[in-house]
Amino acid sequence: MEGDFIKIRESLLPLSWFYGLGVGVRNFCFDVGLLKSRSFHVPVISVGNITVGGTGKTPHVEYLVALLKERFRVAVLSRGYKRKTRGFFLAGENPTVHDIGDEPCQIKRKFPDVTVAVDGKRVRGIERLMDDDRRLDVILLDDAFQHRYVKPGVNILLVDYHRLIIYDKLLPAGRLREPMKGKCRADVVIVTKCPKELKPMEFRVITKAMNLYPYQQLFFTTIDYGELQPLFPEAVSAPLGLGAVKNALLVIGIASPRQIQEDLAPHISHIESLSFPDHHQFRPKDVVRINEAFASMEGPKIVITTEKDAVRLSTVEGLSDEVRRSLFVLPVSVRFMQEEQRQKFDDFMAGYVFKNSRHSILAKGKEKDDGNRADAAGGSNTISFK
């Protein structure tokens, strides 16, 4: 556990001190009110981290969308990293990576009935969403833990199990974007990417080491993989289980590829990997690499990519017919390590939205009157989020 994926560059520690000084001054300005954090009359849930690299933000945002969308009107707001558009942009029915970026595009394609928008200025983005939809119940902010101009109602901090912030260092020596004490702003801390066989003792060790305040809740999640899905129509239409794969070319452009490589290794006889930077835009030379690497492998074989990479690969030109017929997407989801924790988290998030959404606030007076009448008649009103 400790230091699994952590590499500290000791020679850069002096630079980390200066970086920390600058971040500390910025946070101090927000803490004392020199820089203003804005609250809104609609529930806002922020999901983010304080490290560079992937901690599973998108799967956790998708979990929240799936949890809330049946009961509430949900919107997702992201900055739209590496998109070609500017300012506020509302995703349409068929969004592209160039319009809104890969992660928002992935979310919109999974949940077409949910509002998805991007804006580098989150305050402006929230205002636009509220103006455009007066019935909006909750806004989910993707990757906004450090965007302190917005004061969310619930702040969720994600921490990678393999790179716990308590063992990391500030940039550039480590991968922390701000000092570890920044975790005190979180209402909920989730340790992500936990091994499925995590022992009770490890839960207790991590809980103690995180040293959270009483007002903070700690949860643990792991990664689940779904059945492989063909990316292109000409591919095999039937889903494939990982156990049926003998040889695979793994094409990934994510921040932390090591985790998925290790997770797939026990299920596939032979894996070759082509790793690209996070949010990588595939170019003709990259397509040539993919085609040549796959052609050189012995069969039977397939190409596996992530959901985030798939939204970029789906529009790439030049992939060979063999690759297109063999290219499959590996769905990723998160699962809470303990069922009672999942229920606690679900109830907490749904309860927060219910109590604070605009239409619920307007309905409270009526509900209170109805409740008083029911009590007077010997009845009771109970709301369940199960």
Range 139-164 average pLDDT: 95
CB-CB contact of 27 with 192 (8 Å):
no
Q: Please check whether residue 94 lies inside any domain of the structure.
A: no
Q: What sign results for the dihedral spanned by CA atoms 272, 276, 280, 282?
A: negative
Q: How far is CA 34 from the centre of its chain?
A: 30
Whether residue 73 has pLDDT greater than 90:
yes
Residues 203 and 186 grouped into a single domain: yes
Residue that finishes a domain, picked among 196, 223, 250: 223
User: Within the chain, where are the H helices?
Assistant: 13-32, 57-68, 97-100, 102-110, 122-132, 200-210, 257-264, 284-295, 307-313, 321-326, 339-356, 358-376
Range 306-319 average pLDDT: 93
3-class DSSP state for residue 82? coil
CB-CB contact of 158 with 49 (8 Å):
yes
Whether residue 356 has pLDDT greater than 70:
yes
Residues 36 and 181 grouped into a single domain: yes
Lookup: tokens for 30: 């927000």
The pLDDT of residue 239: 55
Tell me the CATH number at 152.
3.40.50
The pLDDT of residue 241: 67
CB-CB contact of 324 with 310 (8 Å):
no
Residue that finishes a domain, picked among 303, 330, 357: 330
Range 241-267 average pLDDT: 82
How far is CA 149 from each of CA 109, 120, 146, 159, rounded to the nearest angstrom?
29, 12, 9, 22
How far is CA 81 from each of CA 118, 145, 280, 313, rounded to the nearest angstrom?
9, 15, 11, 17
CB-CB contact of 303 with 89 (8 Å):
no
Cis ω before 172 (30° cut-off from 0): yes
Q: Please check whether residue 158 lies inside any domain of the structure.
A: yes
Residues 6+ apart with CB under 8 A from 153: 39, 43, 44, 45, 352, 356
The pLDDT of residue 358: 72
Range 190-217 average pLDDT: 95
Q: Please check whether residue 369 lies inside any domain of the structure.
A: no
Lookup: tokens for 275: 């790793």
pTM: 0.89
Range 248-259 average pLDDT: 84
Residue that finishes a domain, picked among 307, 330, 353: 330
Domain count, the chain: 2
Residues 325 and 251 grouped into a single domain: yes
Q: Please check whether residue 188 lies inside any domain of the structure.
A: yes
Residues 202 and 168 grouped into a single domain: yes
Give CA–CA dist 300/384, Å, rounded.
Answer: 50
Instruction: Give the model confidence (pLDDT) of 184-194 as tens digits.
Output: 999 999 999 99
11: Cα within 13 Å, side-chain hemisphere: 0
Sheet holding 332-336, edge to edge: 89-90, 115-118, 74-78, 138-142, 44-48, 154-160, 188-192, 217-225, 332-336
Residues 189 and 308 grouped into a single domain: no
Residues 282 and 177 grouped into a single domain: no
Each as own residue / partner, the long-range contacts of residues 307-310 (CB below 8 Å, 24 or more positions apart, any chain) are: 307/106, 307/331, 307/332, 308/58, 308/102, 308/103, 308/106, 308/253, 308/254, 309/102, 309/251, 309/252, 309/253, 309/254, 309/280, 310/106, 310/231
Give CA–CA dist 26/5, Å, rounded.
Answer: 29
Confidence class for position 360, pLDDT limits 50, 70, 90: low
Match 């989910």 to its residue by tokens: 140
Q: Residue 263 corresponds to which amino acid? A: D
Residues 181 and 305 grouped into a single domain: no
Confidence class for position 341, pLDDT limits 50, 70, 90: very high
Q: Please check whether residue 271 lies inside any domain of the structure.
A: yes
Residues 152 and 289 grouped into a single domain: no
Confidence class for position 359, pLDDT limits 50, 70, 90: low
Residues 55 and 17 grouped into a single domain: yes
Confidence class for position 384, pLDDT limits 50, 70, 90: very low
Match 């049946």 to its residue by tokens: 70
Residues 297 and 279 grouped into a single domain: yes
CB-CB contact of 163 with 191 (8 Å):
no
Residues 273 and 318 grouped into a single domain: yes
Range of the domain at 25: 10-72+137-223
Lookup: tokens for 266: 């026990």
Q: Please check whether residue 108 lies inside any domain of the structure.
A: no
Range 319-326 average pLDDT: 94
Residues 6+ apart with CB under 8 A from 30: 36, 37, 148
Residues 157 and 195 grouped into a single domain: yes
Q: Please check whether residue 242 lies inside any domain of the structure.
A: yes
Q: Please check whether residue 79 lies inside any domain of the structure.
A: no
- Taking only Cα atoms into account, the Rg of the chain, rounded to an integer number of angstroms, comes to 22
